[in-house]
Protein backbone atom coordinates (compact mmCIF):
# COMPACT_ATOMS: atom_id res chain seq x y z
CA UNK A 1 0.00 0.00 0.00
CA UNK A 2 1.31 3.45 -0.96
CA UNK A 3 0.96 6.42 1.39
CA UNK A 4 0.29 9.97 0.15
CA UNK A 5 1.67 13.36 1.14
CA UNK A 6 0.82 15.72 3.97
CA UNK A 7 -1.30 18.74 3.03
CA UNK A 8 0.11 22.11 2.09
CA UNK A 9 -2.07 24.33 4.27
CA UNK A 10 -1.86 27.39 6.44
CA UNK A 11 -4.16 27.84 9.43
CA UNK A 12 -6.28 30.38 7.55
CA UNK A 13 -6.76 28.42 4.30
CA UNK A 14 -9.88 29.61 2.46
CA UNK A 15 -9.54 27.37 -0.60
CA UNK A 16 -8.69 23.67 -0.79
CA UNK A 17 -7.55 22.02 -4.02
CA UNK A 18 -7.91 18.24 -3.92
CA UNK A 19 -6.34 15.73 -6.24
CA UNK A 20 -6.93 12.00 -6.11
CA UNK A 21 -3.55 10.57 -5.01
CA UNK A 22 0.05 11.59 -5.82
CA UNK A 23 1.71 10.08 -8.88
CA UNK A 24 4.88 8.04 -8.69
CA UNK A 25 7.18 11.01 -9.27
CA UNK A 26 5.39 13.04 -6.58
CA UNK A 27 5.70 10.18 -4.11
CA UNK A 28 9.41 9.78 -4.93
CA UNK A 29 10.18 13.50 -4.54
CA UNK A 30 7.69 14.29 -1.77
CA UNK A 31 6.30 17.10 -3.95
CA UNK A 32 2.78 17.55 -5.25
CA UNK A 33 2.36 17.45 -9.04
CA UNK A 34 6.02 16.68 -9.74
CA UNK A 35 5.47 15.15 -13.20
CA UNK A 36 6.85 17.71 -15.69
CA UNK A 37 3.88 17.30 -18.05
CA UNK A 38 1.26 17.89 -15.35
CA UNK A 39 0.14 21.50 -15.79
CA UNK A 40 -0.99 22.06 -12.17
CA UNK A 41 1.90 24.43 -11.39
CA UNK A 42 1.35 26.27 -14.68
CA UNK A 43 -2.24 26.93 -13.60
CA UNK A 44 -1.13 28.09 -10.15
CA UNK A 45 1.47 30.35 -11.75
CA UNK A 46 -1.33 32.15 -13.60
CA UNK A 47 -3.49 32.35 -10.48
CA UNK A 48 -0.97 33.39 -7.82
CA UNK A 49 2.61 33.21 -9.13
CA UNK A 50 3.36 29.77 -7.66
CA UNK A 51 4.84 28.40 -10.87
CA UNK A 52 7.33 25.63 -11.41
CA UNK A 53 10.12 28.17 -12.00
CA UNK A 54 10.05 28.69 -8.23
CA UNK A 55 11.67 26.15 -5.89
CA UNK A 56 9.03 23.82 -4.43
CA UNK A 57 9.34 25.28 -0.91
CA UNK A 58 8.72 28.78 -2.31
CA UNK A 59 5.64 27.56 -4.20
CA UNK A 60 4.29 26.15 -0.94
CA UNK A 61 4.95 29.47 0.83
CA UNK A 62 3.11 31.36 -1.91
CA UNK A 63 0.10 29.04 -1.68
CA UNK A 64 -0.05 29.40 2.10
CA UNK A 65 0.26 33.19 1.87
CA UNK A 66 -2.62 33.25 -0.64
CA UNK A 67 -4.73 31.00 1.64
CA UNK A 68 -4.69 28.07 -0.80
CA UNK A 69 -4.38 24.54 0.57
CA UNK A 70 -3.43 21.50 -1.53
CA UNK A 71 -4.07 17.89 -0.59
CA UNK A 72 -5.45 14.64 -1.97
CA UNK A 73 -8.66 12.78 -1.29
CA UNK A 74 -6.78 9.56 -0.60
CA UNK A 75 -4.30 9.02 2.20
CA UNK A 76 -3.27 5.60 0.88
CA UNK A 77 -4.09 3.04 -1.78
CA UNK A 78 -2.74 0.23 -3.88
CA UNK A 79 -1.99 1.34 -7.42
CA UNK A 80 0.19 0.19 -10.29
CA UNK A 81 2.06 3.21 -11.67
CA UNK A 82 0.44 6.64 -11.59
CA UNK A 83 -2.87 6.00 -13.34
CA UNK A 84 -5.86 6.85 -11.15
CA UNK A 85 -7.85 4.19 -12.96
CA UNK A 86 -5.79 1.46 -11.31
CA UNK A 87 -6.46 2.58 -7.71
CA UNK A 88 -7.45 -0.26 -5.39
CA UNK A 89 -8.24 -0.35 -1.66
CA UNK A 90 -8.58 3.44 -1.24
CA UNK A 91 -8.13 4.92 2.24
CA UNK A 92 -9.52 8.46 2.57
CA UNK A 93 -7.68 11.28 4.35
CA UNK A 94 -8.97 12.59 7.70
CA UNK A 95 -11.26 15.36 6.49
CA UNK A 96 -13.08 15.61 9.82
CA UNK A 97 -9.90 16.93 11.41
CA UNK A 98 -8.89 18.98 8.37
CA UNK A 99 -12.22 20.82 8.12
CA UNK A 100 -12.29 21.17 11.91
CA UNK A 101 -8.99 23.08 11.70
CA UNK A 102 -9.46 24.85 8.34
CA UNK A 103 -12.58 26.71 7.32
CA UNK A 104 -12.29 26.45 3.55
CA UNK A 105 -15.11 28.24 1.77
CA UNK A 106 -14.46 26.46 -1.51
CA UNK A 107 -13.13 22.99 -2.33
CA UNK A 108 -11.81 22.59 -5.86
CA UNK A 109 -11.28 19.14 -7.32
CA UNK A 110 -8.52 18.44 -9.81
CA UNK A 111 -10.63 16.17 -11.99
CA UNK A 112 -13.82 14.14 -11.75
CA UNK A 113 -12.37 11.13 -9.95
CA UNK A 114 -11.21 13.23 -6.99
CA UNK A 115 -14.75 14.63 -6.72
CA UNK A 116 -16.38 11.20 -6.99
CA UNK A 117 -14.13 9.65 -4.34
CA UNK A 118 -14.64 12.62 -2.01
CA UNK A 119 -18.42 12.66 -2.25
CA UNK A 120 -18.58 8.86 -1.94
CA UNK A 121 -16.30 8.46 1.10
CA UNK A 122 -16.39 11.74 3.06
CA UNK A 123 -19.21 12.56 5.47
CA UNK A 124 -21.14 15.55 4.04
CA UNK A 125 -21.29 17.14 7.50
CA UNK A 126 -17.55 17.79 7.26
CA UNK A 127 -17.88 20.09 4.24
CA UNK A 128 -21.44 21.41 4.56
CA UNK A 129 -20.23 25.04 4.63
CA UNK A 130 -18.00 24.68 1.56
CA UNK A 131 -18.84 25.09 -2.10
CA UNK A 132 -17.63 22.13 -4.19
CA UNK A 133 -16.24 22.87 -7.67
CA UNK A 134 -14.94 20.29 -10.15
CA UNK A 135 -12.12 21.52 -12.39
CA UNK A 136 -10.66 19.76 -15.42
CA UNK A 137 -7.75 17.50 -14.56
CA UNK A 138 -4.24 18.91 -15.01
CA UNK A 139 -2.88 15.41 -15.63
CA UNK A 140 -1.15 14.76 -18.95
CA UNK A 141 -3.47 11.74 -19.23
CA UNK A 142 -6.46 14.09 -19.65
CA UNK A 143 -6.12 15.63 -23.09
CA UNK A 144 -9.86 15.99 -23.69
CA UNK A 145 -9.79 19.78 -23.29
CA UNK A 146 -7.40 22.40 -24.71
CA UNK A 147 -5.03 23.93 -22.14
CA UNK A 148 -6.53 27.38 -22.74
CA UNK A 149 -9.98 26.12 -21.72
CA UNK A 150 -8.54 24.41 -18.64
CA UNK A 151 -6.79 27.64 -17.68
CA UNK A 152 -10.01 29.62 -18.01
CA UNK A 153 -11.81 27.21 -15.67
CA UNK A 154 -8.94 27.05 -13.18
CA UNK A 155 -8.90 30.86 -12.96
CA UNK A 156 -12.06 30.58 -10.88
CA UNK A 157 -9.72 29.92 -7.94
CA UNK A 158 -8.46 33.50 -8.24
CA UNK A 159 -11.98 34.77 -7.46
CA UNK A 160 -11.94 32.89 -4.16
CA UNK A 161 -8.66 34.11 -2.68
Q: What pLDDT is attached to residue 82?
A: 65
In whole numbers, what is the pLDDT of the chain averaged over residues? 93
Summarize the confidence of residues 150-161 as an average pLDDT.
Answer: 91
- Is residue 3 predicted with pLDDT exceeding 80? yes
- Is residue 89 predicted with pLDDT exceeding 70? yes
In which band, very low, low, confident or very high, does the pLDDT at 140 lie, cut at 50, 70 and 90?
confident
What are 37-60's pLDDT values in tens digits?
Answer: 999 999 999 999 999 999 999 999
Q: 126 and 155 in contact (C-beta within 8 Å)?
A: no
Alpha-carbon distance of 41 to 152, in angstroms, equals 15
Task: Report how many domains make up the chain.
Answer: 1
What are 17-33's pLDDT values in tens digits?
Answer: 999 999 999 999 999 99
Nearest residue to 21 (alpha-carbon basis) of 68, 62, 79, 60: 79
Domain interval for residue 39: 2-160
Alpha-carbon distance of 108 to 58, in angstroms, equals 22
Alpha-carbon distance of 153 to 158, in angstroms, equals 10
Q: What pLDDT is attached to residue 83?
A: 66
Instruction: Please tell me which residue, 161 or 60, carries the higher pLDDT value.
Output: 60
CATH of the domain at 67: 3.40.470.10
Instruction: Please tell me which residue, 133 or 161, carries the higher pLDDT value.
Output: 133
Amino acid sequence: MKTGLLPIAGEDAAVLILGTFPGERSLATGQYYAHPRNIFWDMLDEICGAGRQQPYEKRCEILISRRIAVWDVLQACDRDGSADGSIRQPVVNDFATFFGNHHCRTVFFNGQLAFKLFTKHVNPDHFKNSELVVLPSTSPAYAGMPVEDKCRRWNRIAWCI
